[in-house]
Amino acid sequence: MHPDHATPAGGAWPRPSENYVPHAHGPDEPPHTHPDPGVDPHQALAAGPRALRVGIGGPVGSGKTALVAALCRALGEELRLAVVTNDIYTTEDADFLLRNGVLPAERIRAVETGCCPHTAIRDDISANLDAVEDLEATLGPLDLVLVESGGDNLTATFSKGLIDRQIFVVDVAGGDKVPRKGGPGVTAADLLVINKTDLAPLVGADLAVMDRDAKERRGELPTVFLSLVEDRAATPVAEWIRILVGVRGPAG
């Protein structure tokens, strides 16, 4: 990466540096221009009244719903948040959140996916978009909407038309080779969560191997290790979301 394009810790894009000096142009060079190194070429997250939408995907049983519950506990007091679930059994995940008392019923919407959890978050996102819109219409402005996918396989990813950022959750009990296998969820998710680290000694999973493989697959994208048994507030994930919400500013 060109040093001008390095992103500082915290994710905010640098403004043009006072020390930045464009390279000199010789007399033989055809006329050309350079992009402003202080301008992020990527499309910015949409500003305005819409809530930040974070997709949470991952294989069946990796702990997506438990992570959503933990995030509701951690962030429910400080952010106006709502959850859309895509479990194949429409009310299962919503019931889990209700039973655990982490979110009132009116802040949860369940979406049916017709046996195709990946279709509902990637190819035809209409039911999920409608659910998000309905939540915002009922509850007023929100800061954060978590969209939890139904359990799927390693190829499942969220459409950018539905979410702003996505988290992919795998667990150590699925085998320490999962990060090495890759797939779009592992390689391209904005945050990879390797969950249930407390089980590692019981299932013979080597966290160092998972860490190394994740780094290899994901380059500079972040990976966090998590045990919801030991950290019921999912601290590193909650912190990652806090920074994202902070960058966007409050909803209108």
Partner 1 sequence: MSLATLLVLADGRLPAGGHAHSGGLEAQVSAGRVRDLDDVAAFLRGKLATSGLVAAAFAAAACRRPGRWAELDGGLDARTPSPALRKASRAQGRALLRAGRAMWALPPIGREPHQPTALGVLAHAAGLGPEEAAVAAAHGTTTGAASAAVRLLALDPYAVHALLARLAPACDRIAGEAARHADDAVNDLPAAGAPLLDIGAEHHATWEVRLFAS
Taking CA atoms, 175 is separated from 58, 234, 252, in Å, by: 14, 21, 44
Q: Determine, following the binding rule CB under 8 A, whether residue 114 of this chain makes contact with partner 1.
A: yes
Question: Least distance to partner 1 from the beta carbon of 80, Å?
Answer: 23
Per DSSP, which regions of the chain are E strands? 52-57, 81-85, 108-110, 144-148, 165-171, 191-195, 223-225
227 known member of a binding site: no
Interface residue with partner 1, options 125, 193, 200, 214 (CB under 8 A): 125
Half-sphere exposure for 56 (CA within 13 Å, toward CB): 31
Question: Least distance to partner 1 from the beta carbon of 201, Å?
Answer: 36
Q: Determine, following the binding rule CB under 8 A, whether residue 112 of this chain makes contact with partner 1.
A: yes
Give residues 87-106 in contact with partner 1 (rule: CB under 8 A).
88-92
Interface residue with partner 1, options 126, 138, 155, 235 (CB under 8 A): 126
Q: Determine, following the binding rule CB under 8 A, whether residue 40 of this chain makes contact with partner 1.
A: no
Half-sphere exposure for 164 (CA within 13 Å, toward CB): 20
Interface residue with partner 1, options 123, 220, 230, 252 (CB under 8 A): 123
62 known member of a binding site: yes
162/146 Cα distance (integer angstroms) = 11
Radius of gyration of the chain (CA): 20
Residues that bind partner 1 (CB under 8 A): 88-92, 111-116, 119-120, 123-127, 129-130
